[in-house]
Amino acid sequence: MDDPIKQSVEKALYAMNLKAAISLHSALIAILTAAFFLPIVLGFWQTLLPSFGYLPVLGVSKFEFQAWQDLVTEPGFASSLSLTLFTGFASTVLASLLTFSICAMIQNRIGKFATEKLLATFLATPHAAVAIGLAFLFAPSGFFSRLITSWTTEWQQPPDIITINDDRGISLIITLIAKEVPFLLFVTLSALNHIPTQKFMAVGHALGYGRAQIWISIIIPQIYPLIRLSLFIVLAFSLSVIDMAIIVGPSNPPTLSVLSLQWFYDPDPLSLKLATAAAILQTLIIVGAVIIWHAMERIVTLAGRWWIRKGQRDNISDYLMRLLAALAVILLACSTLALISLIIWSVAWRWPFPDVTPLSWSLQSWTYVLNSKLNILFNSVVIAACTSLISLFFAIAWLEWPKFESPSIRIIVFGVIILPLFIPQIAFLFGLHILFLSSGFSASLISVCWAHSLFVFPYIILTLSDSWRSLDKRYIRSAASLGASRLKILARVKLPMLLRPLLISAAIGFSVSMGLYLPSLVIGEGRIPTVTTEAVALATGADRRLQSVYALLQALFPMIIFFAALLIPRIVYAERAYLRGVRL
């Protein structure tokens, strides 16, 4: 059969299978929309109404702006607002600069698998665990203070300086950067696979430009559009983070998100108006922040074009980029030391200041948690596993939707998907809690899993979609020409070929679920404790041993899942290659 005729037959058979699946997928997409989109919208609506005075439960059904007036005149509100904006923008800008600098320095110098293993360790560590570990390092009685004391001073008590929970939010900014840089590194390194960086570097060096100038003028402008959405997600997270702000952020006044949470749990019912107004304000802040960031892009673009037109060769930018890359490496090293300090504190029994190492060791903290708090660990693992697997199933179903190939449909779909990543959690979770209470569906593992899936599902589909769409369509057409159904093509062709991105997406979903604090606290009503809720609750206490145990349990299971996701495909593919006589 001639090639044109063969291709026509293959396309016709593929089209027949495609039409047979459209009705089923349309119904499934409708279910997905109801399950993931409607709860966010309805929860946000239930939060929006009290902010304008509509509280029928308290006998108030008149719309007014009194809550907003009280919010503006509330003592400490202006400080909380400025602190939120400062920490959010500063951490995002610095994390971006550090990410670009370290990418420029390590480009093609570290093996891909080694880089993935290194990033997996940091990506798998939840936010609260990173915050607790860094607090152990930088606290006045922390490891760095003990180390300095052993070398240069003879302090017998911790120095009277504020290094954690400072009023300016510096400790919060450092902690946010420590968590954001690995995520941005993962995204940026993936984006670099789409452009020929080696050719650009060779041409730039031939023209006499340094590495930094080549990156600033050629490479960053090409990869920036690919990571812009990730930067917006990081910016939204930094402006609305709660668990890290509770652990290392300022406390008097706190950031706006923490202040809103305090009002939500205030015994005075009228504080609910202030809390909802602050939550809605956070949403407006994020929208305004994205607009400001877009304006900053325009300014940087104009400045960059002027700088490129000058055509000047200099070494200053190279030195500056090396300095930023060194700072990024130091920060990642501090994150590693933070994990080590958690391990040491979890088995330390007596560790007075200023001793650098513990005087005595004990596994009593681990024994206590594993014997009496095993239900907490069970809740966390079950919720994370169920949420990631269910979200992965629905992500595959959504990506298999035939209409998803349309660019316009894809834009709409991604707009719906990333909605919970941009709306502050506190802005719709309390409204969602009200809906669950009215339906008798609150404080159950199912409701907590559902709430977790609202955040896990976007991360899974965002990490999986590029690999799914880049799969060569000729494999699918060939299978369809042999009479394979769409379901069989999925099971026998797509899933085996995409095993690696599928497992990595599931591992990311598991890690996100293990680190979620507010959904577990609000929807679980405190009756379904998780490792994260316990870790944050203990973070303000004095028992560092229990803090360390819970923080390590937070990080341990995601790390195991991440490394399994990296190793299993290598084992599977190596076995298949061996059977076929191919040497990897």
Encode pLDDT of 15-60 as tens digits.
Answer: 545 454 455 556 666 677 777 778 888 888 888 888 888 877 666 6
The residue that leads in pLDDT, 578 or 61, is 61
Phi, psi of 358 (to 5 degrees): -65, 150
Cβ neighbors of 479 (< 8 A, separation 6 or more) are: 488, 489, 492, 493
- In the structure encoding, which two tokens stand for residue 121, read together? 């360790």
- Which residues is 60 bridged to in the sheet? 55
The residue that leads in pLDDT, 228 or 539, is 228
pLDDT higher than 80, residue 135:
yes
pLDDT at 204: 85
The residue that leads in pLDDT, 509 or 407, is 509
82 and 256 in contact (C-beta within 8 Å)? no
Stretch (H or E) spanning 217: none
- In the structure encoding, which two tokens stand for residue 348, read together? 């330390």
Overall average pLDDT of the 199-212 stretch: 84
Instruction: Return mean pLDDT, the chain.
Output: 83
Within 13 Å and on the Cβ side, how many CA atoms surround 199?
Answer: 5
The percent of residues in the chain predicted with pLDDT above 90, rounded, is 27
What's the DSSP call for residue 108? Answer: T
The dihedral through the CA atoms of 404, 407, 408, 413 has a sign that is positive
- In the structure encoding, which two tokens stand for residue 533, read together? 């809720």
pLDDT higher than 90, residue 580:
no
- In the structure encoding, which two tokens stand for residue 164, read together? 């954690």
**Distance linking the first and last C-alpha atoms of the chain:** 36
Per DSSP, the three-state class of 160 is: coil
Q: Is 463 exposed, middle or buried (0-12, 13-18, 19+ CB in 10 A)?
A: buried
pLDDT at 409: 65
Kindly report the CA angle at 134 between 99 and 328, in degrees rounded to 5? 20
Q: pLDDT category, 410, cuts 50, 70, 90?
A: low
Measure the CA–CA gap between 100 and 319, rounded to whole angstroms: 14
Measure the CA–CA gap between 59 and 50, rounded to whole angstroms: 12
- Which residues is 360 bridged to in the sheet? 350
Task: Name residue 149's amino acid.
Answer: T
pLDDT at 1: 44
| DSSP states along 411-428 | HHHHHHHTHHHHS-HHHH
Phi, psi of 400 (to 5 degrees): -80, -10
Measure the CA–CA gap between 102 and 98, rounded to whole angstroms: 6
The residue that leads in pLDDT, 136 or 316, is 136
pLDDT at 582: 47
Q: pLDDT category, 385, cuts 50, 70, 90?
A: very high
Nearest Cα neighbor of 98 from 282, 361, 328 is: 328
pLDDT at 112: 54
- Which residues is 361 bridged to in the sheet? 348
CATH topology of domain 76-357: MetI-like fold (1.10.3720)
545 and 351 in contact (C-beta within 8 Å)? no
Nearest Cα neighbor of 99 from 206, 4, 3, 191 is: 191
Owner of token pair 């494999």: 475
532 and 376 in contact (C-beta within 8 Å)? no
Measure the CA–CA gap between 346 and 133, rounded to whole angstroms: 11
Q: Which CATH class is domain 36-54+64-73+369-472+490-584?
A: mainly alpha
Overall average pLDDT of the 185-212 stretch: 84
- Which residues is 350 bridged to in the sheet? 360
Overall average pLDDT of the 456-477 stretch: 84
Overall average pLDDT of the 133-158 stretch: 83
The residue that leads in pLDDT, 247 or 540, is 247
Overall average pLDDT of the 238-262 stretch: 91
Highest mean pLDDT among 67-71, 170-174, 534-538: 170-174
Domain 36-54+64-73+369-472+490-584 identical in fold to domain 76-357:
yes
pLDDT in tens, 484-498: 877 888 888 888 888
Overall average pLDDT of the 285-305 stretch: 92
pTM exceeding the 0.85 threshold for the entire prediction: yes
Nearest Cα neighbor of 549 from 352, 360, 342, 411 is: 342
Phi, psi of 265 (to 5 degrees): -100, 10
**Domain ranges for the chain:** 36-54+64-73+369-472+490-584, 76-357
Q: Is 118 exposed, middle or buried (0-12, 13-18, 19+ CB in 10 A)?
A: middle
Nearest Cα neighbor of 36 from 456, 519, 515, 501 is: 456
Lowest mean pLDDT among 211-220, 235-244, 289-298: 211-220
Measure the CA–CA gap between 563 and 326, rounded to whole angstroms: 27
Phi, psi of 269 (to 5 degrees): -60, -30
Measure the CA–CA gap between 229 and 81, rounded to whole angstroms: 24
pLDDT higher than 70, residue 291:
yes
Nearest Cα neighbor of 118 from 262, 363, 333, 277 is: 333
Phi, psi of 527 (to 5 degrees): -95, -10
Owner of token pair 């020929």: 196
